[in-house]
Homo-oligomer: A and B are copies of this chain.
Amino acid sequence: MKKLLVLPGDGIGPEIVTEALKVLDKVKEKFGLSVSVDEALLGGAAIDATGNPLPAETLDKAMSADALLMGAVGGPKWDHLETSKRPEKGLLGLRSSLNLFANLRPAILYPQLASASTLKPDVVSGLDILIVRELTGGIYFGEPRGIRTLENGERQGYNTYVYSESEIRRIGRVAFEAARKRGGRVCSVDKSNVLEVTVLWREIMEEVAKKYPDVELEHMYVDNAAMQLVRAPRQFDVMVTGNMFGDILSDCAAMLTGSIGMLPSASLDADNKGLYEPVHGSAPDIAGQGVANPLATILSLAMLLRYSFAEAEAAVAIEQAVSKVLDAGLRTADIWSDGLQKVSTQAMGDAVAAAI
């Protein structure tokens, strides 16, 4: 019996997670999977109920689960709180406590949705990039950090961007292993012409590369990487980078597809225990209206089955069901265009479940 912990979170989180669980029920039945489902509070929902974005009970359940499926966290309601008490802190605490250092963010253009991209079709058609982002280190977690008052009386804010060899090595390996199963190319993104921490990053990537003679390693400065994603995104296979650069570049890459409502992500520890979540946010502006796109969450469930539960067959079944539903012309509002059938969050979930 595998233990799944569900963290609906905030905004559209609860709605989209509900649809993913519908789909889980169908694949459990079809493939005879034995999965128990528990639920816990995270983010703003947890703040409202307990005052803490990551309550002890949630952390306990997370520790003993085999995998976690999250909706989304955060929203303007909690924007006045200080950084250390915000919904996001719950998510960051979870990533860190569970050692989920490897964040995999595919940016894939679904052929059925090609026209949704703001980029010209000949630039993005067939796009399939995997961004591997380090998730438990770098400037997100570096100490010292804070806001202090200088001798002259003015305040100064500071954070620390820090990586050790072993942190770089382990995320490097994840990227090279992934590249081996894909296009065989890794692009490591840094700013080694300015930042010492990324000089070490580049050096360790070179070292890791020696163990993967079948994989090609290229280095790119982060400013150039942002340009190249816009100029010629198909040049990339796997991109590997630190926490902050990965946050920026993965959102940029996701948006190239024009359908961020379709993109799942996985955050894994060294043993393939993972937290799975859509790339998009909590979209408080449309929460509760039944119009959110549940497909990124449903596809996150597919990643979960593949990586954490080693149920590749069930994962493929979900991915194929999503494809079928798109082929049939069903679209939530965010990916809808003239001539296609606009459906609600629930109807989309029902359709995918039915297509399993």
Chain B residues, Cβ within 8 Å of A198? 157
**Least CB distance, A77 to chain B, in whole angstroms:** 13
A245 CB to closest chain B CB (Å) equals: 8
User: Which residues, 231 to 250 on A, are CB-close (under 8 Å) to B?
Assistant: 231-232, 244-245, 247-250
Contact A194 B142 (CB under 8 A): no
Give the contact-size bracket for chain A. Answer: 35 or more
- Against B, the Cβ 8 Å flags (1 = close, 0 = not) of A142-179 are 10011100100011111111111110000000000000
Which of chain B's residues has its CB closest to A124's CB?
B118
A78 (CB) vs chain B CBs: closest residue: B193
Complex: A255 Cα to B223 Cα, angstroms: 11
Contacts A92-B194, A196-B83 given; does A164 touch B155 at CB 8 Å:
yes
Task: Tell me, in angstroms, the Cα distance from A323 to B86 when the chains sit together.
Answer: 50
State whether the Cβ of A199 lies closer than 8 Å to any Cβ in chain B: yes
* A88: chain B residues within 8 A (beta carbon): 193-194
The answer on a CB contact under 8 Å between B199 and A83 is yes
Judge if A180 is at the interface, Cβ distance under 8 Å.
no
The interface residues of chain B lying within 8 Å CB-to-CB of A123 are 118
Find out whether the CB atom of A227 lies under 8 angstroms from the CB atom of B251.
Answer: yes
A192 within 8 A of B: yes
Do A158 and B142 touch (CB < 8 A)? yes
Interfacial chain B residues near A92, Cβ < 8 Å: 194
Q: Check A260–B227 contact: CB distance below 8 A.
A: yes
A224 an interface residue at 8 Å Cβ cutoff? yes
Q: Is A195 an interface residue (CB 8 A)?
A: yes
Which of B82, B164, B191, B231 makes the CB contact (< 8 A) with A150?
B164
> In chain B, what residue has the closest Cβ to A164?
B156
Closest-CB distance, A122 to chain B (whole angstroms): 9
Beta-carbon contact of A74 and B227 below 8 Å: no
Report the separation of the CA atoms of residues A150 and B222 in the bound assembly, to the nearest whole angstrom: 27
Chain B nearest CB, measured from A235 CB (Å): 12
Q: Using A161-B158, A192-B83, A230-B255 as known contacts, say yes or no to A222 and B200 having CB atoms under 8 A apart.
A: no
Chain B residues, Cβ within 8 Å of A83 = 192-196, 199
14 CB-based A-B contacts, threshold 8 Å: A83-B195, A83-B196, A139-B161, A145-B196, A155-B164, A156-B163, A157-B195, A158-B196, A159-B160, A159-B162, A160-B161, A227-B251, A230-B256, A248-B248
